[in-house]
Structure 1
Amino acid sequence: MSEGWAIALLSGALLVMTSVLTWVAAELRLLHKSLRGFVEKSDCREDMGKHCERLDELEKKVEDNSKFVAAVQQYHEMIGVPIVKAK
């Protein structure tokens, strides 16, 4: 093998190794970026408590609105006028 071929083969090997190391560095950077978004367990519990309160309020509103809608339906049935549904 001549000197030119040896240099070309070595250059190709270095190019492949550099490409692999670049890919590994990019993956590590993305991993680091995703870990920065990590949420502490105590913060999560606090946020979940707020979400539970909102869900309880929402459930109460739905219950109240369900009673109202049932009364409206009963009234429409009583007077014999069909309910027009929004499209």
Structure 2
Amino acid sequence: MRARQLLIKPVSAYCDLQCRYCFYKDVEKHRSRRTTARMSDDVMQAVVEKGLADVDICTFGFQGVSHFWLGWDFFKNLWRKLAG
């Protein structure tokens, strides 16, 4: 069985919780441009399609507290695309 695991950070540096363990704040400091966007529906569609391609099982995980910043509508839309 072919499997794939994806860890996704769909809100970039938008999160402002300042968790001490978060590696992303250090990554963001070294970028030439701050990224505060959230994942678009087009990008989500591409992630789903590529994630499911050529595997039997794909596990989608989300880093951090992204679900608080994205809201349930984001995940409902993701579920529809996965079930689609």
TM-score range, shorter chain: under 0.3
User: Larger relative contact order (C-alpha < 8 A, sep ≥ 6)?
Assistant: 2
Structure with bigger gyration radius: 1
TM-score w.r.t. the length of structure 2 is 0.22
More strand by share: 2
